[in-house]
Structure 1
Amino acid sequence: MISVIIPCYNCERFLERAIESVMRQGYSDWEMILVNNNSVDNTQDVIDRYVEKYTNKIVSLFEERKGACYARNTGLREAKGTWVQFLDADDELLGGKWERQIQLASAGINVVIGAFTRVYVALDKEEDFFTPTGTNIWKAILRSNAGITSANLYKRQALIEVNGWDVNLTSSQEYDLLFRLLKSGAGIVYDTKLGARIYEESGSVSRPRTKDGMERIIANYVNLRVKIASYLHEKNLWDEELKNVYAASLYEMMINQKGANIQRVHAVMHQLGLKTSGSPQLFQRAKYYVKKLVRKQ
């Protein structure tokens, strides 16, 4: 069975779209857990209508602590399925996703990483993001190319063993979850066909309204990847190519953060066993000093 967990916050406008996309999967063995996370619109009315119509398939829960991760964990504690489909209320699944991903999930697989379409609502634009079959998973995570919440499928027991979602994070939660799953020995497989549509509107978590909000997202993004590099270094899980990729990417990320200190950046790089003298690093270092010089003038 697949347990569908949908955090619901002020989503009366599009919750029906998400729920109906589950119905269209053509997969009979599922349950749905709708978690109202302090909605002040008519979200609960939509939830109640579906619970009444599908009494044996859909249940309603309430989570008073604010945040999608709290709501997802609340649903996870009640889930009974072997697999878990986290679905954001403003997203939708594409037909055939579950049947295809279940077939891909052979023994030892705990996460199916899916491809998806991102819909930029305000721009009336769409962009497809395909998963990198054959690509080292650590490189895929570094470049944010390892699926997204609604596109992936998770083994419930694996999620429980890593204590689900980290409620203390305000962004980068899904890649933090994937990192902890991989550290626990979770097996992954890539689904190369589009399985979800991700709707992005202005003011969403991934597109904050303020400069401070964007800086917090960048900080979470970089800090997680530094943690991953530390783990790879400690466990000696990377070859020279992967080390070079991380060296170039992390150096650029850290040195371009607001208030970056080049001595601190170099100290972190050395601690991670990553070089600071390659061509990409020298280029970023030159940019850093030019920006400092411009700011002084």
Structure 2
Amino acid sequence: MPLVSIIALCYNHARFLEAALDSILAQTYPHLEVVLVDDASTDGSADILRRYAAQNPGWQLLLLPENQNNCRAFNRGLALSRGEFIIDFATDDVLLPERITQQVAAFAQAGPRCGMVYTDAELLDESGRFVRHYYRRDARGNLHPRPASGLVFADVLARYFISTPTMLMRRATLEALGGYDETLSYEDFDFWVRASRDWEFQFLDTITTCKRLHPSSMSQRAYRRHDPYLASTIQVCRKALALCRTPEERAALVVRVRWELRQALRHRSRPEARELYQLLSELDAVSPLDWVAFKVLG
């Protein structure tokens, strides 16, 4: 039975933290390792983490003296772990009890070239009330379109479709990438691009995680002016360009870059818009509409 490491990352999650940590204790999968990482919280989170670590002697606790950002904090936790599979667990979310059991079984079916298994999620508001599922379904519960599995490099270039909090990653995949890129302000898009170049992803059609939506979460800050999110996205798009091997993959990247350009123009992020327009030019993909939008708003 493979060891699964949960890297539980906390930054000012005190009001959500007990529910998150209790969801680890409720897992039906028995072979777990837990690494608690507090990224210099200022809200009393460290005291809660100390209490849970004392009550669960096998859990490791890392209290960072200064805020490191998510990518660097995760890598610090990863270095302390030993599991064959890894969960990057934000402690404002909740794991459903069967999550790890289901995903480890999916890895066994998918085979050794599978680098990541992901699933559907429930989205909750700050009070824990259900908002919606991550994926849209028809009246019969069918997904349209069904999230991609297999070699999905072009898919992850063209659109966002993976529910990040649900990912179970193979350690060998993370190690092949050198962990998360610590120069970035967020991790998931970069992981998807670099990992999917050589590893398969597998979608498991079940709900394993409750993702909390609140104003301080990273996903809610995306594309605001002066936020480093878009600058990191541009870095990843440039990595993706270097990894593209076929015209179809370049076409998928064009879709991504054009969408990001629209977001930059919409939010008046002019330096980032200029970089994205330049990247479209390098892809020989500037359309008349791109040119007009850039000249008017950029």
TM-score by length of 1: 0.80
Deviations 1:249-295 (A, max 9, x none): 423433653326999766533433x433xxxx334444445557xxx
Residue-by-residue CA offset, 1:109-145 (whole Å, 9 max, x unaligned) = 2211232233343896623224613584432343121
* Match in the other structure for 1:129: 134
Alpha-carbon distance, 1:77 to partner = 0.8
Q: 1:116 is matched with which residue: 105, 121, 125? A: 121
Residue-by-residue CA offset, 1:202-252 (whole Å, 9 max, x unaligned): 1333333994344x32332244234313421xx33x53xx54443344234
Name whichever of 70-79 and 107-116 sits farther off: 107-116
1:44 partner letter: A
Alignment of 1:39-50 (within 5 A): 39-50=41-52
- The aligned counterpart of 1:275 is 285
Unmatched 5+ stretches in structure 2: 136-145
1:13 matched residue in structure 2:
15
Q: CA offset at residue 90 of structure 1?
A: 0.4
Please tell me the residue identity of whatever aligns with 2:258.
Answer: Y
In the alignment, what sits opposite 1:254? 261
Match of 1:219 among 223, 226, 231: 231
Q: Deviations over 1:6-59 (max 9, x none)?
A: 122232221111111122221111011111222233223222222222213x12
Structure 1 pair 244–38 and aligned structure 2 pair: CA distance change class (3 A): closer
C-alpha deviation, 1:197, in angstroms: 1.4
Determine which of 32, 35, 38 is the counterpart of 2:34: 32
Within the candidate set 169, 178, 195, 2:184 is matched to 169
Over aligned residues, Cα RMSD in angstroms? Answer: 3.0
Max Rg structure: 1
Match of 2:86 in 1: 84
Note if contact 2:37-2:77 (Cα within 8 Å) is conserved in structure 1: yes
Per the TM alignment, residue 189 of structure 1 is displaced from its structure 2 partner at its CA by 1.4
In 2, distance between residues paired with 1:206 and 1:132?
20
**Is 2:122–2:130's contact at 8 Å kept on the other side of the alignment?**
no
2:190 is aligned with 1:179: no
Unaligned runs of 5+ in 1: 293-297
Identity of aligned residues (%): 18
